[in-house]
Amino acid sequence: MRILVTGGAGFIGSALVRHLVGEVGAEVLTVDKLTYAGNLASLKVIENAPNHRFARIDICDRAALDEAIASFRPTRIMHLAAESHVDRSITGAADFITTNINGTFTLLEAARAYWSTLPAAEMQEFRFLHVSTDEVYGSLGPDGFFREDTPYDPSSPYSASKAASDHLAIAWHRTYGLPVVVSNCSNNYGPYHFPEKLIPLIILNALDGKPLPVYGDGSNVRDWLYVEDHARALNLIASRGRLGEKYNVGGRNERSNIDVVRRICRTLDAVRPAAAPREQLITFVTDRPGHDHRYAIDASKLETELGWRAEQTFETGIERTIAWYLENDWWWGPLRSGVYGGERLGVLPAAAARTGA
Ligand code: NAD
């Protein structure tokens, strides 16, 4: 199996590449532009693996994609490259439109050109997995779950750009017969998570004794999935998912943001008691514009059709994650002191003025 993974230097992409190279034993070509979110240090554990290569490529660059695909001859493309942070999409959506929509279009066209030249048996075997988010479905009330047939209703520039890319991927299957499968996953957390996202930001601020920013009243609910459970799901969906179908991925681990933050504080207080109680660092800040209230995934299609189960509960996954951040400041230290120091992103000037923030 030769697998081309786009976005393989990012958070989920690197977990997938480590899984495919280290555990599955596939030949992997990681394709990544190395934006602020891409980091080759996340692939350090496999840097000497003979079955892994890296190519710095922008997925909007058709010629570079054609060349990489022609020389690697993938049996699968797993597409994770994206601009992924909602707050950054609020401040400036241009890169999200360029990479998530135009980049996906460019990659689909490069994949289609390559696939259409393959001998019949290889054509049959080829798969294109488009990796997406549950945020395309919009916001839930207190009840109910996102299913694969839930209508799309995205709220942020990020989720709207991902919704567009999902439609392109499915259209390339229906129109051109490209063997596409789509996955829509809930919020991930775990090792190598860029510290702009809630869980690593709270862990690192709590370790530094800095304020722990919680948007609004902290009641927004997310359905958390440990990233290595997601990586296994992606391999399964790419291997055995039905063509033209979507699969929701989620761990049945709904938690409000404030509960997540309190949990991190309690765990850190237990292992580093000198700075306890860290809950006193919690600071409620202006809510995110267009903040979806609740996400929750019904993953029964993936569970019953493909036999996937999340191995980590939120409790076991968050313990592992915190332990990883405590042991791996070589990875996050340079990011916190360089690319991103923890400042607030995604506040609109008008909203800031209204609230006095
Ligand atoms: P990430 O931001 O950590 O990583 C994205 C990677 O894509 C980075 O390595 C970056 O360098 C690369 N990239 C960005 N623009 C590129 C371009 N033009 N060409 C090539 N590479 C480019 O994101 P993530 O959290 O790992 O998410 C990966 C995928 O999974 C995304 O498609 C995202 O929408 C989806 N997803 C994320 C979550 C989540 O909770 N993080 C949940 C569900 C789905």
Question: How do the pLDDT tens digits run along the chain, 357 residues long?
Answer: 999 999 999 999 999 999 999 999 999 999 999 999 999 999 999 999 999 999 999 999 999 999 999 999 999 999 999 999 999 999 999 999 999 999 999 999 999 999 999 999 999 999 999 999 999 999 999 999 999 999 999 999 999 999 999 999 999 999 999 999 999 999 999 999 999 899 999 999 999 999 999 999 999 999 999 999 999 999 999 999 999 999 999 999 999 999 999 999 999 999 999 899 999 999 999 888 989 999 999 999 999 999 999 999 999 999 999 999 999 999 999 999 888 888 888 888 865 444 444
Residue 273 in domain = no
For the domain that residue 67 is a member of, what is the CATH number?
Answer: 3.40.50.720
Catalytic annotation on 226? Answer: no
- Kindly state if the Cβ of 199 falls inside 6 Å of ligand 1: no
In-domain check, residue 291: no
Q: Is residue 148 part of a domain?
A: yes
Does 141 reside within a domain?
yes
Ligand 1 atom nearest to 85, measured from its CA:
2
Q: Domain limits at 65?
A: 2-194+224-249
Q: Which of 4, 36, 84, 302 to mutate to test the pocket of ligand 1 (most atoms within 8 A of CB)?
A: 84
Q: Is the CB of 84 under 6 A from ligand 1?
A: yes
pLDDT of residue 351: 53
Q: Ligand 1, closest atom to CA 34? A: 11
Cα-to-centroid distance, 13 and ligand 1 (Å): 7
> One of 32, 58, 135, 223 is an active-site residue; which one?
135
Domain-located, residue 312: no
Q: Identify the pLDDT of residue 165.
A: 98
| Residue 135 a catalytic site member | yes
Q: What is the pLDDT of residue 345?
A: 87
| Domain presence at residue 95 | yes
Q: How far is CA 187 from the centre of its chain?
A: 7
Let me know if residue 339 belongs to a domain: no
Tell me, yes or no, whether 216 lies in a domain.
no
* Catalytic option among 134, 228, 254, 292: 134
Q: Determine whether the shortest distance from the Cβ of 165 to ligand 1 is under 6 A.
A: no
Q: Which of 4, 5, 11, 128 to mutate to test the pocket of ligand 1 (most atoms within 8 A of CB)?
A: 11
Structural domain tally of the chain? 1
CA 212 vs. chain centroid, Å, equals 23
